[in-house]
Amino acid sequence: MKKSSIVAVCMLLLCITACEAAPNLVYFGDTLEWNKDWIKKQCGTLDIKKNIIEVSGIACSRVTPGYIWMQSDETSRYIVATDEKGAERAIKVNFSKSIRWDWEDMCGGVYEGKDYLFIGAFGDNEETDGNYSIVWIEEPAIDPVNTPEITVTPNQIKYVYPDGKNHNNEALMYDNREQVLYIITKVYYNVCQVFSLPFRTDYGNEVQTLEYVCDLGVKSDLGSGSKPYKGFHLVTGADISPDGKYILIKNHNNIVATYTWVLLFTREDGESVAETLKRQTHPEPLRCYNYEWQGEAICWLDSTTFYTTSDADDGNPPIYKYTKKVNAAVESVQTKKADDKTLVMIDNVMYIRSKQGLFTLDGRKVQ
């Protein structure tokens, strides 16, 4: 058997073991309960030879629904958009000027009525660079028939950390409620940290200082002795749902797939993102999530649907779609109606029901 085949078989067995024997996660001293309210299915496969290699960040398009933006940590010259099936004909957006390399994550958000894409140009494995920025553009409309390739002029926000140190990062998210960007450090066998920066379009070339928010997990949760990889470290991706209600943070482990999770944080009414993340006992690991080799990309479509994919560069990584189960027993119909539309509450999330189906409050149909 070829060496590559042996490696593939070993990885497959490792992933199967992880799915069957995923351990409970201890977080701030408490064992978290699994969330079983989500269903996972493969919706597509990305042809990396035709589209993009080493996908480390994704974001659902808000301007042209049905498409997913993808960025690579292999290049800092362009992004692409495909449908959820990983369509062969991707829409390519070239950047008109050179931007710092080592992109690690991306997200989307709304600011003053406009849709934006944000890219974290902040990878620094050796923690020796110090030249960090968040690249942003106004999201372009997608026309796959007439304009499969366009060029845009990017902007960037340069920043430093309040502790004066360099940090490696792979997670970026934006909150539509607060209009604030959040960055999460990627740390091996130790605590990851969350930092924030309010988004503005007029920062220019002035270097900004991030604000420290909180730690994720504590060192004592990471295990000891021969198994230092236990615990929630190595954060590789994150996103906040468009309505601001849910936060997803995922990690991966380069040694043992068993210790890989996606954490779901549920935000209470009137609570800031910082307040949600500082609460120490409430995040829920998703039972439906299975280990993805170099799985770094995650994004919300709406509060009932999100996607993940990986940055594997030696094959065609699958695109996974996760949907929240609809429990008719807990559905309560409100009396407020407009035309043929009815507001309904399902699992504490508000939707619009009409003859055409079930929709989120921002008008996206729930499959």
Give the pLDDT confidence of 111-127 residue by residue, as tens digits: 999 999 999 999 988 88
User: What are the pLDDT digits (tens) for 307-319?
Assistant: 999 877 567 889 9
Mean pLDDT value of segment 87-101: 80
Q: Residue 24 forms beta bridges with which residues?
A: none
Query: What one-letter code names the amino acid at 108?
Result: G
User: What stretches of the chain show up as alpha helix (H) in DSSP?
Assistant: 3-20, 273-278
Q: What does the alpha-carbon distance between residue 229 and residue 116 come to, in Å, rounded to a whole number? A: 36
Most confident residue range from 124-128, 181-185, 233-237, 313-317: 181-185
Whether the per-residue pLDDT at 220 is higher than 60: the answer is: no
Residue 348 has pLDDT above 80, yes or no: no
pLDDT tier, 189 (very low <50, low <70, confident <90, very high otherwise): confident
Taking the complete model, does pTM exceed 0.85, yes or no?
A: no
Strands of 284-285's sheet in order across? 235-240, 246-251, 262-266, 284-285
Across 2-6, 117-121, 337-341, least confident range: 2-6
CA distance 348 to 331: 9
pLDDT for residue 243: 95
Q: How large is the average pLDDT for residues 54-61?
A: 93
Higher pLDDT, 212 or 311: 212
- 204-243 as b/e: b if 16+ CB within 10 A: eeeeeebeebbbbbbeebbeeeeeebbbbbbbbbbbbbbb
| Residue 339 CA to its chain's centroid (Å) | 36
* CA–CA gap between residue 304 and residue 33 (Å, rounded): 20
Structural tokens at position 87: 């369509």
Task: Kindly tell me if the per-residue pLDDT of 336 is higher than 50.
Answer: no
Q: What is the pLDDT at residue 257?
A: 66
- The span from the CA of 324 to the CA of 36, in Å, is 9
Q: In Å, what is the CA distance from 114 to each residue of 138, 205, 300?
A: 7, 22, 18
As a whole number of angstroms, the distance between CA 147 and CA 145 comes to 6
Binning pLDDT at 50, 70 and 90, where does residue 180 land? very high
